[in-house]
Structure 1
Amino acid sequence: MVHDPHSLFAANALLPTGWARNVQLQWDGTGRLTQVTPNSTAAEGTPVAAGPLLPGMPNLHSHAFQRAFAGLTEYRAAAQDSFWSWRTLMYRFAARITPEHLEAIATWLYVEMLEAGYTSVCEFHYVHHDRGGQPYADDATLSQCLLRAAQAAGIGITLLPVLYQTSGFGGKPPHEGQARFIRSTDNMLDLLQRLQPLCAAQGAQARLGLAPHSLRAVPPDSLRAAVQGLSALDASAPVHIHIAEQTQEVDDCVAWSGQRPVQWLMNHADVNARWCLVHATHMTPEEYTAAARSGAVAGICPSTEANLGDGIFDMPQWLAAGGAWGVGSDSHACVNAAEELMLLEYSQRLSRRQRNVLASADHPQVATAMTLQAVQGGAQAAARPVAGLAVGQQADMVALDAEHVALRELPADSMLSAHVFGSHRTSAIHSLWTAGRQRVAAGRHALHEGAAQAFVAARSATIQPD
C-alpha cells in the first residue's frame, strides 16, 4: 500500500479547542494544514500516529552557542555566585566561537530540540563579529550559520539579530567581553535588509525579527530608531527583549530613570502583540497588568531562570490580566519542551504551596492547559503560522508513544500528563513533523549521530585555552 505523504490519522489529537477523537489531517505541498477533521475514519493509505498527536511546541528564546557550555559553569566562581558571575564565564566562551563551531553547535541543538518536542525556535542571536570584534567580510556570516543549521535540521526559525550597544544604563561604554556583540543602529538595519531575502528564501520555515538586547544594552534613542526601522522593513516583524530578569537590573534601571524596567518600557515604547518580553521576572502588580494588556507575550524560560537564580514569574497574576505566554530554553541547560512545562508548574506550586496551579476551567488537566497556552503564545512570539493543529497552520506535530510504559493504556489527556510529569519527558516522544515532513521517527532524528559528533568536536575546541 502506498502511503499518502500529506496526511496523518490520529486516534486522539489535541486541537486548539481541546482533545478530539479519530482526527484526519491533511496538508498541502507547503506544509500548511488543509483538513483537520475529527470523528473520521482513516482513509486508505493514511499513516496512523503512534499515539496521541500534539501540536509542536515553539521554543521562543534560544542562544544557540550557549548549548556548548551547558554544565560547565556549575562551580563557584565568586563568593556569592549569580547571573553576573555566570555572565563573565559566558563571555569567555563566546570569545572562542568560530563560524564553523557555531554551525555545528546549532545544528546539534536544533536536532535535540526536534527530538525533545520543539518544532520551531526563536534564535536571539548576539554573537555577530569575529573573535577580535571585527565584522566579517560578509557581515551576515554568523546569522547565515544559524539559518543553515535550522534548514539542515528541519526546524522552523525566527531569526532575531540582537542590537547591543552599551554595558549598562545611561550609555556606559561596552567592555572587552562584549566586543563581538556591538552594532550601531544603522549597521543593524543594514544587516536586517541583508537577511530579509535569505529568510524569505526558506519560505514559511524562516522569519526575521529584531531583538534589542535589553534596556541596559540599548539606549532609548537607539531602541526607538531600531524598532521604527524594522517596522519600515516589515510592519509585522516580531520584537523580543530581555527585561526585568534580575533584581540588580531593576535597581539599576530605577537609579537611571526613576522607573522600573517594564514600567519604563510601557511608558516609552509602543509595546503590542509583536513584542515578546523575555523573562519579565520582577514586576509589580501594575506592571503585570499593563504588560499583559499590551498584548505582548511573556517569554518564560524556567530551566534557565532556575539555573541562573533569576526568580519566579507570577503566572497566575499574568493570566488573570489576560496575558499570553510561551516557553524557551534560553541557555540550554535543559533542552526539553515538556521539562520546561513541568518546571514552570512546579515553580508555581513551590511559590504558592498549591497544586495544579496552571490548570484552567476549560482544561482541568494542567498539562493540556499549559500545552495549548504555550503553543499559542509561542506562535505569536515566533510570528509564524505554528499555533496548533488547525487549518491554515503548519503541520508541526508530535506523536507520543502509546506503548511507552509511562503512557500505556491511559486516556489521551492522561498520556500527556504522564509525558510531562511521569516520564523522562523525551522518552515518550515517538515521531515529529515540521511543515508536514517527518523529522523524528522512533525518537531519533536522521542527523542524530553525525550532528552529535560534530557538536562534541566543536565544544572540545571552544573549551580549550587559546
Structure 2
Amino acid sequence: MTAIFAQTALLPDGWGSDVRLVLDGDRIASVTPDSQPGNEDCKVAALVPGLPNLHSHAFQRGMSALAESRGPSADSFWTWRDMMYRFALGVSPEGMQAIAEMAYVEMLEAGFTRVGEFHYLHHDRDGRAYADPAEMSRRILAAATETGINLTHLPVFYAHSDFGGTAPNEGQRRFIHDLDTFARLTETLHGAITRPLDRLGIAPHSLRAATGPELDALLRAHPEGPVHIHISEQQREVADSLRHSGQRPVEWLLAHQPVDARWCLIHATHLTDAERKGIATSGAVVGLCPVTEANLGDGLFPAVDYLAEGGRIGIGTDSNVEITASGELRLLEYGQRLFHRQRNLLAGGEGSTGGALLRASLAGGAQALGAPAPQIAPGAPADLVALHDPVGLPTAADRLIDRWVFGRDIAVADVWASGAHLVQAGRHRNRDRIAAAFARAVAALL
C-alpha cells in the first residue's frame, strides 16, 4: 500500500487539513483528515482529484503550431482542416502510438488523469482497412497503458463529407466506415480493452459525417456507454444544416435523437436560446475546448446563461495545440469576460471562480466519459493531483485553485492515476524516452 499525506485536500464535503490517504492498488482505501504523517508517506502541499480530459485527437499533437502561417487566402477552420487531413494521411501505426504517448505524458503532467480519445484515424494510408480493424485503436490503448493515463476510447463513425450523405473526399479516406465495418471495430474493441478503469463509447463524428438513419442504427447497436459528437462548432456548419434540413444542428439533434446524460456535445458554440436551454434540460454535457476553439477561431460558447440554467460542462484539449488543464479553465472564464466585459462570471454566485470551474469540469467530465466521480474518498479510483506552492503563501481552500488557474505560482507536482505515481516533481517518469520517440516520429512525418 501507498500512503500520501497532504497539508490540505479537496474532499467531497470541502477542504480538509492534514489529510492522510492510503492507496490500495487502483483505489483509495482510507482518507483520514486531522491526521499525522507516517515516516514513509509521500508528503504534498495540496491534493485535488485528477481531472478528466473529455476530448482529444491525440495524433494532432504531432502538428501543433504547424498551421500558424497565413496563406494567400483568408485563413479559417476550413483551411486548417485541409492541412490536418494532409498530416493525418502520413501517420503510421507506430507514429500514432509515439505521438499519442507524448500527448498523454503532457496531459498527466498538466493534471489530467483520464482522456476521452475521439479517434477517427482508422485505416491505412491508402484508405484500405488494416488486417486488424482495430490496429490504430490498439495503438491508442497501448499509449494509454504505457503512460498510465485512464482511457475512455471513443471510436468515431465517419461515413460522409457533408449533410445528406455526401460521399467522402480523398482527404478523409483513412476515417471512413459503414455501419457493418464500424460494428466489427467496436466488437473487436470490447475484447481489446482490458484495464479495469478503461471505458468504451462511440462517437458519430458530426451531423455532416453521419445521417439520421445511421445515428438511429448506431444507438440501437450501442445502447450503453458515452456518445460524443461534434456539433455547431462553426457558423458555416449551422448554415449548411439549415439549407439541408431547415433546422440548426443542435435543434435537429434534440428533435430527432434521445439526447440525455450519456451524450456529450462537443463545442456547441453557436446556439439559439432554445437550443441552449434544450441542452441544459437534457442532462447532456457540453464538451468545451477553449484553447482549440480560440486557435481555430470557432467563437465563444454562451457559458454564463447555460450554467445559470443548470447546464453541465467538461473541458478537453481537442487538437492538443497546447496541453494545459489550468489554461483551459482560465481561457473559458476569460472568453466570457471579453464578451460580457465583466469579471468572475463563471463563479456561480459568490465565491471562487477557479473552484467553481474545477468542480464543474470534474463532475461533467466524469459523466461524459462514463467514469467514476473524481473524488478523494474511500473506494474512489486513486486518481490524484498534488499542487505545489513554491512561494509558500498562506492560501486557504479555493484560493489555491484560483492561484493555479489564474496565476503562475502554483504548479502540478505529483500525479497518481489508478494508484500509480506517474508524475514526480512535475515530470512523467517515462518522459525522456517517450519524448525521444515522439521527436523521431514527427521528424519522419515532416
Report the TM-score range of the alignment, normalised by the length of the smaller protein: over 0.9
CA-CA distance at 1:186 after TM superposition: 1.7
Please give the residue correspondences for 1:180-191 in structure 2 after superposition, counting only pairs within 5 Å: 180-191=174-185
User: Which secondary structure state, in structure 1, belongs to the residue aligned with residue 162 of structure 2?
Assistant: coil
Q: 68-77 vs 9-18, which deviates more?
A: 9-18
1:425-453 C-alpha deviation (Å, 9 max, x unpaired): 7xx11101011211101111111111111
The answer (yes or no) to whether the contact 1:359–1:369 under 8 Å persists in 2 is yes
The structure 1 segments of at least 4 consecutive aligned residues displaced by more than 6 Å after TM superposition are none
Please give the residue correspondences for 1:231-380 in structure 2 after superposition, counting only pairs within 5 Å: 231=223, 235=224, 237-361=225-349, 364-380=351-367
For the pair 1:453 / 2:440, whether they are aligned, the reply is no
Please give the alpha-carbon distance, in whole angstroms, between the structure 2 residues aligned to 1:292 and 1:37.
37
CA-CA distance at 1:51 after TM superposition: 1.2
2:203 to 191, 199, 211: 211
For the pair 1:384 / 2:371, whether they are aligned, the reply is yes
1:123-175 C-alpha deviation (Å, 9 max, x unpaired): 00001000000000111000000000000000000000000011000111100
CA-CA distance at 1:412 after TM superposition: 4.4
2:183 aligned partner, one-letter code: L
The answer (yes or no) to whether the contact 2:52–2:113 under 8 Å persists in 1 is yes
For the pair 1:15 / 2:26, whether they are aligned, the reply is no
CA-CA distance at 1:48 after TM superposition: 4.2
Please give the residue correspondences for 1:26-45 in structure 2 after superposition, counting only pairs within 5 Å: 26-29=22-25, 31-38=26-33, 40-42=34-36, 44-45=38-39
Please give the alpha-carbon distance, in whole angstroms, between the structure 1 residues aligned to 2:440 and 2:90.
14
1:202 aligned partner, one-letter code: R
Q: Which residue of 1 aligns with 2:219?
A: 227
Please give the alpha-carbon distance, in whole angstroms, between the structure 1 residues aligned to 2:27 and 2:39.
20
The answer (yes or no) to whether the contact 2:289–2:317 under 8 Å persists in 1 is yes
TM-score if structure 2 supplies the norm length? 0.97
1:373-424 C-alpha deviation (Å, 9 max, x unpaired): 101111111111142223332111110113x23x544334323222211117
1:271-293 C-alpha deviation (Å, 9 max, x unpaired): 11101000000011111111111
User: Which secondary structure state, in structure 2, belongs to the residue aligned with residue 87 of structure 1?
Assistant: helix
CA-CA distance at 1:45 after TM superposition: 4.5
CA-CA distance at 1:52 after TM superposition: 1.1
The answer (yes or no) to whether the contact 2:4–2:44 under 8 Å persists in 1 is no
Please give the alpha-carbon distance, in whole angstroms, between the structure 2 residues aligned to 1:418 and 1:321.
27
1:51-95 C-alpha deviation (Å, 9 max, x unpaired): 111111100000000000010000113521110010000000000
1:319-362 C-alpha deviation (Å, 9 max, x unpaired): 1221111000000111010110011110011111111111124x
The answer (yes or no) to whether the contact 1:386–1:396 under 8 Å persists in 2 is no
Cα 1:64–1:15 shift into 2, 3 Å? same
Cα 1:365–1:49 shift into 2, 3 Å? farther
Please give the alpha-carbon distance, in whole angstroms, between the structure 2 residues aligned to 1:280 and 1:149.
29
Please give the alpha-carbon distance, in whole angstroms, between the structure 2 residues aligned to 1:349 and 1:285.
20
- Where does structure 1 lack aligned partners over 5 or more consecutive residues? none
Cα 1:319–1:46 shift into 2, 3 Å? farther
2:92 to 73, 94, 98: 98
The answer (yes or no) to whether the contact 1:189–1:230 under 8 Å persists in 2 is no
Please give the alpha-carbon distance, in whole angstroms, between the structure 1 residues aligned to 2:172 and 2:72.
21
Please give the alpha-carbon distance, in whole angstroms, between the structure 2 residues aligned to 1:310 and 1:18.
36
1:172-212 C-alpha deviation (Å, 9 max, x unpaired): 1100000000001121111111101211x1111x1111000
User: Which secondary structure state, in structure 1, belongs to the residue aligned with residue 313 of structure 2?
Assistant: strand
1:212 aligned partner, one-letter code: P
- Where does structure 2 lack aligned partners over 5 or more consecutive residues? none
Q: Which residue of 2 aligns with 1:438?
A: 421
User: Which secondary structure state, in structure 2, belongs to the residue aligned with residue 50 of structure 1?
Assistant: strand
CA-CA distance at 1:18 after TM superposition: 2.7
TM-score if structure 1 supplies the norm length? 0.93
Please give the alpha-carbon distance, in whole angstroms, between the structure 2 residues aligned to 1:396 and 1:86.
35
Please give the alpha-carbon distance, in whole angstroms, between the structure 1 residues aligned to 2:72 and 2:270.
24
1:460 aligned partner, one-letter code: A
Cα 1:424–1:347 shift into 2, 3 Å? farther
The answer (yes or no) to whether the contact 2:102–2:435 under 8 Å persists in 1 is yes
1:114 to 102, 108, 112: 108
User: Which secondary structure state, in structure 2, belongs to the residue aligned with residue 456 of structure 1?
Assistant: helix
Please give the alpha-carbon distance, in whole angstroms, between the structure 2 residues aligned to 1:303 and 1:45.
42
The answer (yes or no) to whether the contact 2:374–2:383 under 8 Å persists in 1 is no
Identity of aligned residues (%): 48
Please give the alpha-carbon distance, in whole angstroms, between the structure 2 residues aligned to 1:56 and 1:127.
27
